[in-house]
Structure 1
Amino acid sequence: MDHEARWYAIEQERLHLADMLESLTPHEWDAPSLCEGWRVRDVAAHVALGANPPLRAAAREAIRTYGRFNKMNQALGIAYGSRPVDQIVAALRKHAASRKLPPITNQRNILADTLIHAQDIALPLSRDHHMPVELARDSADRLWEMIWPMWAKRRYRGVRFTATDTAWSAGRGSDVHGPISALLMVLGGRRATLSHLSGDGLPHLTPRV
C-alpha cells in the first residue's frame, strides 16, 4: 500500500468504527474491552484521540506518569472516555480524515492501531466487525518489523506464521496458521483470536502472547 492508500484506509476504518459505536447499548459502552483496565468507551476515546492528538494533555500525562507510555495512554483514554458517548463518536467522525500524528508514531502504526482497537471493542461484545484482508496484511508486516513496543520477532522466535486467506508469512520455526486478522491480533498481543489459529507451533506460541 502507498501513502495515500493508507490514509484513505485510516479514514474509512475510523468511520466504520464510528458506525459500530453508534449501535452500542449503554451497557456495552461500559463493558470491558480486550485491553486490560480499559472499558469500551476508553478504547473508543483512544482511537478518537489518535485522530486529533491532545498534545498539551499528553505532555502533562507524560510528566505525571514519568514518561511511561502505556500509563500515559491509559490515563488519557480513561479521561476522555468518561465523556458522553455521543461526543466520542462525533469526534471520531469529525477527525476521521485527519492526518495529524501523535508523537513517536507514523501512519502505518495508526492503521494497525485502528484495526486492532476496533476488534478490542467488537470481540468481547460478540460483534462482527470486518477487518479488510489487505489492511490486515499491511499492518501485520508493520508489527512484525517493529521493535518497541511489540518486539514480535524476538517474542515469537521459533514460530512461523502463515496466513490462510492471503499471501503472508513471517518468522521461522514451528507452523502457526490462520486468518490474517487473527494473526494480526496475536502480533498485537491479544489472546482472544488464538482459537482461530492452528498448527504445531500453537503450544509454543500461546504462553508468549
Structure 2
Amino acid sequence: MDAAAVQELTHGERRRLVEILDRLTPEQWEATSACPRWSVEGVVAHLSAAASTTTRQWIVSIVRSRFDPDRHNDRLIARHRGATPGETLETFRGLVASRTAAAGAHVAMLGEVVVHAQDIVRPLGLELVPDQTAVLEVARFFATKDFAVNSRTLVRGLSLKADDAPFDVGSGPLVTGELLTLTLAMAGRADAAAELAGPGAEELLHRIEIA
C-alpha cells in the first residue's frame, strides 16, 4: 500500500477516535489509559505529537532527552496538552488530516492511532471498531518491523494467524485470535495477549510481561 493510501486510513482512524472523544466526560478524560503512565488526555496529546512532529524535531527532542524515550514522550505530551481536555481535543482535531510522519514511517503513524485508540477505549469499557484494512496493514508492519515497538522481536519464533482476516505469518508455536487482538499483543498489550489462544499464546504473554 502506498503512502497516500496509508495516510487516508490514518485520517479515518483519527476521525473515529474524535467521535469517541467528543462524548467523554471530564472523569473519563482523567482516567488512566492502558498506558499506565498516561491518562486518556495524555494519550491524546501523545497522538497530537505523533501527528505533528517532523523528523528533525523528533531527533532534536530525543537528543535533548538524552535518548530517554519516557522523557522524550513526556516533553512532547506537555507541548501538545492544552489547559483543559477540550483544548487538548481541539489540537488533535486540527491534526486529523496531518500527513506528517517522522522518518516517513506512515504505517507506524497508522499503528499509533490504531493501538492508542484502543488504549483509550478499552479501559473505559467503550468500543471503537477500526477499519479492518487499517488493522491488517499495521499487523503486517508489526510482524516485520521493530519500529516504535519491538513487535517483530516479540513474536520471533511464533506463528500468528487471525481468525477473521487473511493474516498468517511466522513459524513456530501457533497464536490465534482476532486480528485487532493480535495487533495489540504485538504492540505489547498484555491484556490483549491474554485473550489469544493456541500453543504459543502463553509464551507470547510471558514475553510481554517480562519486557
Could you state the TM-score of these two structures normalised by the residue count of structure 1? 0.90
| Residue ranges of structure 1 left out of the alignment (5+ in a row) | none
Secondary structure of 2:158's partner?
A: strand
CA distance in 2, matches of 1:49, 1:19: 19
Residue 22 of structure 1 aligns with which residue?
22
Q: How many residues align?
A: 208
Residue 4 of structure 1 aligns with which residue?
4
- Spell out the pairing of 1:1-209 with structure 2 (5 A cutoff): 1-53=1-53, 61-81=61-81, 83-102=83-102, 104-209=103-208
Secondary structure of 1:177's partner?
A: strand
CA distance in 2, matches of 1:149, 1:14: 19
CA distance in 2, matches of 1:202, 1:162: 11
CA distance in 2, matches of 1:107, 1:58: 15
CA distance in 2, matches of 1:205, 1:59: 32
Deviation digits for residues 179-208 of structure 1, max 9, x if unmatched?
A: 100000011111121243111111211111
Secondary structure of 1:91's partner?
A: helix
CA distance in 1, matches of 2:83, 2:145: 33
Deviation digits for residues 89-130 of structure 1, max 9, x if unmatched?
A: 21222221111223x351111001110010010111111011
The amino acid that maps onto 2:97 is A
Percent identity of equivalent pairs: 25
| Deviation of the 1:161 alpha carbon | 0.6
CA distance in 2, matches of 1:196, 1:19: 27
The amino acid that maps onto 2:145 is M
CA distance in 2, matches of 1:71, 1:167: 38
- Kept after mapping to 2: 8 A contact 1:161/1:176: yes
The amino acid that maps onto 2:139 is A
The amino acid that maps onto 2:120 is I
Deviation digits for residues 115-161 of structure 1, max 9, x if unmatched?
A: 00100101111110112211111001111111344333332233111
The amino acid that maps onto 2:126 is R
CA distance in 2, matches of 1:64, 1:6: 31
- Kept after mapping to 1: 8 A contact 2:42/2:77: yes
Secondary structure of 1:193's partner?
A: helix
CA distance in 2, matches of 1:88, 1:82: 5
Do the aligned partners of residues 200 and 155 (structure 1) sit closer, same or farther apart at CA in structure 2, a change above 3 Å counting? same
Aligned residues: CA RMSD: 2.1
- Kept after mapping to 1: 8 A contact 2:55/2:101: no
Do the aligned partners of residues 54 and 106 (structure 1) sit closer, same or farther apart at CA in structure 2, a change above 3 Å counting? closer
| Deviation of the 1:59 alpha carbon | 6.3
Could you state the TM-score of these two structures normalised by the residue count of structure 2? 0.89
- Kept after mapping to 2: 8 A contact 1:176/1:199: yes
